[in-house]
Chains A and B, each alone.
Chain A
């Protein structure tokens, strides 16, 4: 596919430098994406720059080898990253994906699983004076929500 060469504008150049400062390759996109919504313009520019670079490399290789080089270039449409890169890396590392011992599994709760008691406000004390004060009733407090049912684990 022939793509017209894109002019390097100052805005594009500066944006690209921000993206690539200190990181390389796909990690640049991942680092940018980790901050939340990927800017449509910047992501588009970055993808086009990558595509242009790949195509230039392919053309150079083609010229050197004298044979056509097949290049699969697929532009990624900008998208909002919904999972932080740091979280993805933490749950995907080989160190934690290998079968092994995990948490402690028991037939009864070990600790910290009882519902908390609801807070109740204290009543007002009686004031000085001849009239006996009527102790005020504490306001009715909401009962704590029932504990959740056990989480299911079944074949699916």
Chain B
């Protein structure tokens, strides 16, 4: 029989971190926090000293950046390429124009957010971002935002780092982005509870418990990071084709993938693609669970039917 994991929880990158490991959970938490602090220092849109903020502030010129940020941006640009721009790391200005320029709690407390007029679509903005050697050049008029990929990538970093350092099996859930790593000769399935809101909410569909044995799993939702601007409800997922919050039929998507980055890219792309999501996911062999605006659940690929009644 395999060893049952221990677990711990803490907060980082503005969200919850749930960590399970067959090794020492205290050590795992310490290392995970260290890695997540480094990712925050590199990629945070809300820190003026982050590599991302410095690159945005110096738009039009080359800026030397850390290796970690360079890798994060490389991942974001690769995801933009494979999703044909559906996930675009150049939408930072759109988020700011929609009112999401500071921590979300502060945004929600504002009373003076104006309606958005003339949001600009991306039109392949990500292609103009230059990543060369140790420097980045963000074109004038463009601002980076790695919100679509950095959290999932951080989950992969933590899981793989801990496994490599300790040889122990690890599961990391970083705000719902789940990454698994473990010794090759150990078969193990991990229990994951899928909800729309953290901890579930009254209006959520019934939680869906599943077991995952490798790779990553991620849930994206338009239901959590929401605010009002000019009397209009907004949320944080931007459709690059319109420059505005997505308005498709799906409100929550959960997908699996070979890594958490891949899973998150699929889940987020599904919300942006809307009516085209199912065909897009099936064409790529992605297993997914989609929740429509009225609470209907649609299963894609190899996503399992519920084991008990009431949960899909």
Within 269-312 of B, Cβ neighbours of A (below 8 Å) are at: 269, 281, 284-287, 301-307
Identify whether the interface residues of A are mostly helix, strand, loop, or mixed: loop
Give the one of A110, A111, A117, A150 with max B CB within 10 A. Answer: A150
Q: Does A65 have its Cβ within 8 Å of any Cβ on chain B?
A: no
Within 95-132 of A, Cβ neighbours of B (below 8 Å) are at: 96-117
Q: Mark A119-156, 1 if CB is under 8 A from B, else 0.
A: 00000000000000000000000001101111111111
Closest beta carbon of chain B to A89's beta carbon, Å: 8
CA separation between A17 and B41, bound complex, in Å? 30
Residue of B nearest to A114 (CB): B1
Picked from A29, A102, A114, A151, the residue with its CB within 8 Å of the CB of B258 is A102
Contact A155 B211 (CB under 8 A): no
Identify whether the interface residues of B are mostly helix, strand, loop, or mixed: mixed
Picked from A26, A79, A98, A150, the residue with its CB within 8 Å of the CB of B262 is A98
User: Are A154 and B221 also in contact (CB < 8 A) when A101-B258, A106-B210 are?
Assistant: yes
Contact A33 B67 (CB under 8 A): yes
CA separation between A122 and B261, bound complex, in Å? 49
CA separation between A37 and B186, bound complex, in Å? 32
CA separation between A88 and B196, bound complex, in Å? 30
Q: Across the interface, which residues of A come within 8 angstroms of B255, CB to CB? A: 99
Contact A25 B133 (CB under 8 A): yes
Contact A156 B15 (CB under 8 A): yes
Q: Across the interface, which residues of B come within 8 angstroms of A111, CB to CB? A: 187-189
Q: Across the interface, which residues of A come within 8 angstroms of B18, CB to CB? A: 151-152
Q: Does B130 have its Cβ within 8 Å of any Cβ on chain A?
A: no
Closest beta carbon of chain B to A75's beta carbon, Å: 8
Q: Does A82 have its Cβ within 8 Å of any Cβ on chain B?
A: yes
Residue of B nearest to A75 (CB): B64
Q: Does A1 have its Cβ within 8 Å of any Cβ on chain B?
A: no
CA separation between A108 and B222, bound complex, in Å? 28
Within 144-164 of B, Cβ neighbours of A (below 8 Å) are at: 151, 153, 156-157, 160-161, 164
Q: Does A64 have its Cβ within 8 Å of any Cβ on chain B?
A: no
Q: Does A83 have its Cβ within 8 Å of any Cβ on chain B?
A: yes
Contact A92 B134 (CB under 8 A): no
CA separation between A96 and B74, bound complex, in Å? 13
CA separation between A70 and B172, bound complex, in Å? 44
* Stretch of B4-12, B94-102, B119-127 on the interface side: B4-12
Contact B171 A155 (CB under 8 A): no
